[in-house]
Structure 1
Amino acid sequence: MESILEALYRGQLHPDETIVPSHPEYRRLGRQIGAMTEKWRKELSDEMFRELEEYSDLCVSLNSLHVEAAFIHGFRLGANMIIEVMSKREELIPNAASGVS
């Protein structure tokens, strides 16, 4: 089995492409967006619909940058938590030399 670090180094990890939210609203909201998009495709002129798609693409790009920043922040926070825990581990292990059990 390949390690996570090896997979990361080789560019084999793509969590942004494989994550599907498990929130119960996710699929329902996706269907709603699809239905509204089709409604607007029929009701708007080609030019207006293209502008709406450009707006939507900009919103997706902005959201993607936010999600990336949140991922990095969360990863750093988790790593710092591990560092803090590991740096204090000696406090949790009784010192046999002191006679404390």
Structure 2
Amino acid sequence: MRDNMSNLIEDLFHGNLRLDESIHPEQDEYYEINSQISDTMQNYKTKLPDTEYDALEQLIDLIGQSTSMYVEAAFEQGFRTGGRLIIEVLAKP
């Protein structure tokens, strides 16, 4: 167990730990929703003038940035809560 923990700590130190790359939602709906988003964007691309489509893409990029910041904050909060839980469990006799 110590070797796995050491590797995890080393990976974290060297920036090799990319948790976001290992997230794969298990809900079937996730993939269906992404397909619908792609289809809808393709539909807008064919119907909107280039300037309006570019503005829509910029809006979607901003929403993505906002969502990423929220997910990061949620991850940090969950990690801290998990750490506090471990401390509380280990502190009890």
Both proteins in one fold, TM over 0.5: yes
More RCO (CA 8 Å, sep 6+): 2
Deviates more, 1:68-77 or 1:10-19: 10-19
Q: TM (normalized to structure 2)?
A: 0.91
- 1:85 pairs with one of 85, 89, 93: 89
- 2:31 pairs with one of 27, 39, 44: 27
Unaligned runs of 5+ in 2: none
**Higher helix proportion, which one?**
2
Q: TM (normalized to structure 1)?
A: 0.84
Alignment RMSD: 1.1
Q: What is the percentage of aligned positions where both structures have the same residue? A: 37
- 1:53 pairs with one of 46, 52, 57: 57
Larger Rg: 1
Number of aligned positions between the proteins:
89
Unaligned runs of 5+ in 1: 91-101
Runs of 4+ in structure 1 deviating by more than 6 angstroms, as ranges, are none
